[in-house]
Amino acid sequence: MVQPVFDAAVLSGRADIPSQFIWPEGESPTPDAAEELHVPLIDIGGMLSGDPRATAEVTRLVGEACERHGFFQVVNHGIDAELLADAHRCVDAFFTMPLPEKQRALRRPGESCGYASSFTGRFASKLPWKETLSFRSCPSDPALVVDYIVATLGEDHRRLGEVYARYCSEMSRLSLEIMEVLGESLGVGRAHYRRFFEGNDSIMRLNYYPPCQRPMETLGTGPHCDPTSLTILHQDNVGGLQVHTEGRWRSIRPRADAFVVNIGDTFMALSNGRYKSCLHRAVVNSKVPRKSLAFFLCPEMDKVVAPPGTLVDAANPRAYPDFTWRSLLDFTQKHYRADMKTLEVFSSWIVQQQQGQLALQPQPART
Ligand SMILES: C=C1C[C@]23C[C@@]1(O)CC[C@H]2[C@@]12CC[C@H](O)[C@@](C)(C(=O)O1)[C@H]2[C@@H]3C(=O)O
Ligand SMILES: O=C(O)CCC(=O)C(=O)O
Ligand SMILES: [Fe+2]
C-alpha cells in the first residue's frame, strides 16, 4: 500500500480520509466521551508562596488523584500568561508553514525529536491525525532548545527557539515543585524525587491537530499511557483530551488558566506502582485546528529507575525491574508502539534481556 502524505492542505480537499487513518470500530472515538471527567483543580498558589496549610492540602489532593487515576489540574501555578500565549502563537506560526519548511526539522526513524507529520513513515495503520514537533530540554544545557531550533529551521526561527527555551525552563521548575509534593504524599520526603529529577533530560512536544472531515473515524493521538515520568499539558480552548477510567472515556474540558498534569509509566515505576499512569487519547473535530503543548519530564538517560526502599516491603514487593529511561525510550521508539501496556511489556522484555545476558556470562568453575 502507498504511504500517505499527511499534509493538511492536501487532505482537506478530499471527502474521505486515507484508510491508514481509519481506526477500527472498537478503538475509534465514542459518544460517551461527551461526558466530562472532573479531575481535581488544585490551587498551588499558597504552596508556592510557602504556606504550610496550603501545602498540606495540595499534598492530600495530589496524593488522592494519583492513587486513583494519576490526572489532576493546577491553577495559580505562576507561569506567565504572556509566555503561555506566546508559546501557543509559536505553535500556529510553525505548523501553518508549508510542509517542506517544517520538514527541515524532520524526525528520523528511531529518533524521538524533530517534526513528524502523522507517523506515516513509522506506522502503517491506525495513524494519528496530527503533526508534532518535539525537542529535548535539559536544565544542565540552557542553550539546547535554541541551538536545536536554529540548527534545524534556521536563524529566522531563533525567537521561536527562545520562547520554548523559556517555556521549558519554567516547566522544569514547575515539575520539580510537583515532585516535592509527590515525594511528600508518598511519605518519602520532599527532597527525594526533586533530587532525582534535578538534572532531567526532558522532551517538549508541540501537538497540532488539523481539522478532519471524518472525526468519528480517526484519532488525533491514539490511546496510550505516557512512557515518560510526569506530563504537564496545556490545551488550547478547542478540547479533545480524553481519559479512560472506570471503564469509559471522558473528556477533560480545557481551562486557559490550568495545566493538566499526569503521572507517566516511569513515575509509576518510581512509586512502585502506587501512583497510576492512566490511559488517555486525543480526538479531532471537523471545524478548527487544535493545539496542545506537552512537557514530558524524564530522568537523565542512564539514571537507574527504582523506587525508594520505604515503598517496598513484603506486602508491596517490587512491581517493576530496575531500568534506565534510555532503555524505555529506545523500546518505545524502536520496538513497541506506546499503548496502555507499555510498562508491562517493557518489564518482561527487560527481565528477558537480563536473563539472556546472565546466560552469556562465564559461570564460575565448580570445585
Ligand atoms: C516517549 C514518548 C513516546 C511518545 C512521545 C513520548 O515522548 C511521550 C508520548 C508517546 C506517544 C504516545 C502515543 C503515540 O503512540 C505516540 C506516537 C505519541 O504521539 O505520543 C507516542 C510517542 C512516540 O512514540 O513517539
Ligand atoms: O493533545 C492532547 O491533549 C494529548 C496529547 C498526549 O497525550 C501526548 O502528546 O502524549
Ligand atoms: Fe499522552
DSSP 177-229: HHHHHHHHHTTS-SHHHHHHHHT--EEEEEEEE---S-TTT--SEEEE--SSS
Name the closest-CA residue to atom 8, ligand 1: 226
In the predicted model, what is the mean pLDDT of residues 149-173? 98
Pocket of ligand 1 (CB under 6 A): 112, 119, 203, 221-222, 224, 226-228, 296, 329, 332, 337-338
Residue 60's SS3 state is helix
Name the closest-CA residue to atom 7, ligand 2: 281
For residue range 122-146, list pLDDT tens digits in order.
888 999 999 999 999 999 999 999 9
Question: Which of 112, 135, 200, 340 most suits a substitution to test ligand 1, by most atoms within 8 Å of the C-beta?
Answer: 112
The mean pLDDT of the chain is 94
Residues with CB under 5 A from ligand 3 (ion): 226
In the predicted model, what is the mean pLDDT of residues 156-170? 98
What is the spatial distance between Cα 304 and Cα 194, in angstroms, rounded to a whole number?
A: 15
What grid cell was written down for 173? 521548575
The per-residue pLDDT for 6 is 86
Over 50: is that where the pLDDT of 321 sits? yes
For residue range 46-62, list pLDDT tens digits in order.
999 999 999 999 999 99
Reply yes or no on whether 290 is catalytic.
yes
For residue range 252-289, list pLDDT tens digits in order.
999 999 999 999 999 999 999 999 999 999 999 999 99
Q: Give 353 Cα–ligand 1 centroid separation in angstroms.
A: 23
What is the spatial distance between Cα 354 and Cα 333, in angstroms, rounded to a whole number?
A: 20
For residue range 214-238, list pLDDT tens digits in order.
999 999 999 999 999 999 999 999 9
Ligand 1 atom closest to the CA of 339, numbered from 1: 15
Over 80: is that where the pLDDT of 33 sits? no
Ligand 2 within 6 A of CB of 131: no
The per-residue pLDDT for 367 is 41
Band the pLDDT of 66: cuts 50, 70, 90: very high
Q: Give 222 Cα–ligand 1 centroid separation in angstroms.
A: 9
The active-site residue, picked from 205, 250, 274, 290, is 290
DSSP 294-336: EEEE---TTSEE---GGG-SSSS--SS--EEHHHHHHIIIII-
From residue 306, how far is each of 57, 69, 198, 267, 271 by CA, in Å? 28, 21, 16, 9, 8
Ligand 1 atom closest to the CA of 205, numbered from 1: 7
Band the pLDDT of 362: cuts 50, 70, 90: low
What grid cell was written down for 105? 526539522
The per-residue pLDDT for 120 is 79
Ligand 2 within 6 A of CB of 137: no
